[in-house]
Amino acid sequence: MDNQEIAQAEVLSHIQRQPGRPGDPCVMCIFGAAGDLTKRKLVPALYNLRKAGLLANDFAIVGIAHNPMSNDEFRAKISQEIKQYAGEEVDPGIAGWFAERMYYLTAEFDSKDLYGKLKPFLGKIDKDHSTHGNYFFYLATAPDFFGPVVEQLAGVGLMEENNHSWRRVIVEKPFGRDLDSAKALNKKLLRVANEKQIYRIDHYLGKETVQNILAFRFANGIFEPIWNRRYIDHVQISVCETVGVEQRGSYYDKAGALRDMVPNHIMQLISLTAMEPPVSFQADAVRDEQAKILHAIQPLSSEEVLSRTVRGQYGDGNVEGHHAVAYRNEPDVPHESRTETFVAMKLAIDNWRWADVPFYLRTGKRLSAQNTHIVIQFRRAPFVLFRDTPVNTLMPNQLVLHIQPEEGISLQFAAKVPGSVMHLGAVDMSFEYADYFGTQPSTGYERLLHDCMIGDQTLFQRADMVEAGWCVVSPVLDVWKALPPRNFPNYASGSWGPKEAEELLERDGRRWRNFEK
Ligand code: BG6
């Protein structure tokens, strides 16, 4: 290491030793505490937060679900789940600490009775654990319950804040099924709660690599000057999955890939990539800039939906060496299903920075490799010096933000292949998170839960952002509904999606960048 590297390593290790302040004392009340999200994501995230010193000592959890369970059974279940999903050897001291502060209520979310009981129940826990009257309600429920649960909570006064206490609600996705239902849900929530109390979660914003898009763009002086239409040819955003619909067929078949991934996760990736620098890192300053980008995305006309979008559904095939069944043969999926499991689109952002720079996006299940990345492709160099080199062998510069499973950033550029003639080859300069910062177990929910406990809404979606995302998607949903697909299934499991997705870029003289394992 040279002196600069040693100095950098010291700074990094100093930063890593500063975890931030613990969340406020509070009770976390989970609606849907017996479900998958709670055990796979929320419980391990709470464990990791406690381990990092980011949970207040005065903290308690109340689980609510319709499954009959006593407090003790709930404690035993969560202790077991911590062991199963924490991703490392569990510290028995921490597991015991959680067991002492967990409570459970068996109830249907739509029963009036529940809310009458919940208020005194929370009141007692609040006293016993000195949580200062601070409660947050995590709605890990089916979306139909989001509005009614918050209305009922407000009805018994559980959303009322005073000078000394706060009340917040975290709403999971999907936030609406289209623009109208998202607007209706916002209206319902905002009738009984304040925007500052509503935390619309998108777990993509909990990913370190997604948050790093902002750091990369705005903490470095060298990228922002070239981050515009003058230097950038196009942007590709790919969220490729190898998994199928797993056990979620009944939800997924009503949603489809477009609703499931685009108005939320992919819109976040677009807005962070394309936004203007915010004036500060205050929640509303960042979200104002994100919202501006979402509003600047041009909704597609009906003709454009036909020429600029592609949908697909997986047939059977081979994924990572294993046979995979067709979507229509997955559990809880109708045999004639016309739901899309793949979508690709070409979008335009109508502002000075991005005019004429296409943003191509795609997402799909049962693809060849799991990979989420953003490719920024720069304009080609003028060919003056390399007249004899065929144009298609001159690789354009690409900057790739690798979100997952690889986490890092790479820059592709041309270098001279050693030898007596001038031949060019594409080479990569790359940075990997793990090399500098190591890896720590994380579910992606740690930061978001902690932010809710300290009242920071930067990484949560505001009402206008959610609606702007649906404005982009709604015209596509309408055209697709009017013209049901005739050729499904149209891609094999284990491929890179339907051939029309390749053609979408080929027509413009471009190609998707794929990363195999
Ligand atoms: C969820 C979608 O929101 O995100 C799933 O409902 C998808 O269908 C998942 O698989 C992808 O998240 P991640 O963190 O695995 O990229």
Residues 220 and 369 in one domain: yes
Q: Is residue 451 part of a domain?
A: no
CA of 466 to the centre of ligand 1 (A): 17
Q: Which two tokens stand for residue 64?
A: 């609510």
Residues 245 and 357 in one domain: yes
- 46: CATH: 3.40.50.720
CA dihedral 498, 499, 505, 506 (to 10 degrees): 180
Beta strands in 241-358 (DSSP E): 309-312, 314-319, 322-324, 342-347
Q: Is residue 198 part of a domain?
A: no
| Residue 321, domain extent | 205-379+438-444+462-506
Cα(50)–Cα(43) distance, integer angstroms = 11
> Ligand 1 test: best mutation among 203, 208, 443, most atoms within 8 Å of CB?
203
**Is any ligand 1 atom within 6 A of the Cβ of residue 406?**
no
Q: Is residue 396 part of a domain?
A: no
User: What's CA 424's distance to the chain center, in Å?
Assistant: 38
Cα(162)–Cα(479) distance, integer angstroms = 48
Residues 122 and 246 in one domain: no
- Residue 342, SS3? strand
**Is any ligand 1 atom within 6 A of the Cβ of residue 260?**
yes
Distance of CA 255 to CAs 173, 228, 250, 471, Å? 11, 34, 9, 16
> Ligand 1 test: best mutation among 205, 265, 372, 403, most atoms within 8 Å of CB?
265
Residues 166 and 270 in one domain: no
* Residue minimizing CA distance to atom 14 of ligand 1: 204
Residue type, 144: D
Cα(197)–Cα(169) distance, integer angstroms = 6
Residues 231 and 165 in one domain: no
**In tens digits, what is the pLDDT along the chain, a chain of 517 residues?**
566 665 565 555 554 545 689 999 999 999 999 999 999 999 999 999 999 999 999 999 999 999 999 999 999 999 888 888 887 789 999 999 999 999 999 999 999 899 999 999 999 999 999 999 999 999 999 999 999 999 999 999 999 998 789 999 999 999 999 999 999 999 999 999 999 999 999 999 999 999 999 999 999 999 999 999 999 999 999 999 999 998 899 999 999 999 999 999 999 999 999 999 999 989 999 999 999 999 999 999 999 999 999 999 999 999 999 999 999 999 999 999 999 999 999 999 999 999 999 999 999 999 999 999 999 999 988 766 666 666 566 778 999 999 999 999 999 998 888 988 877 888 999 999 989 888 777 888 999 999 999 999 999 999 999 999 999 999 999 999 999 999 999 999 999 999 999 999 999 999 999 998 7
* Residue minimizing CA distance to atom 8 of ligand 1: 260
Cα(406)–Cα(517) distance, integer angstroms = 9
Task: Tell me which DSSP letter residue 277 carries.
Answer: P
Residues 344 and 287 in one domain: yes
Q: Is residue 232 part of a domain?
A: yes
Main-chain dihedrals φ then ψ at residue 143, nearest 5 degrees: -60, -25
Beta strands in 120-222 (DSSP E): 135-139, 167-171, 198-200
Cα(362)–Cα(459) distance, integer angstroms = 23
pTM of the model as a whole: 0.93
Residues 159 and 215 in one domain: no
Q: CB of 400 within 8 A of CB of 374?
A: yes
| Residues forming beta bridges with residue 159, ordered by sequence position | none
Domain count, the chain: 2
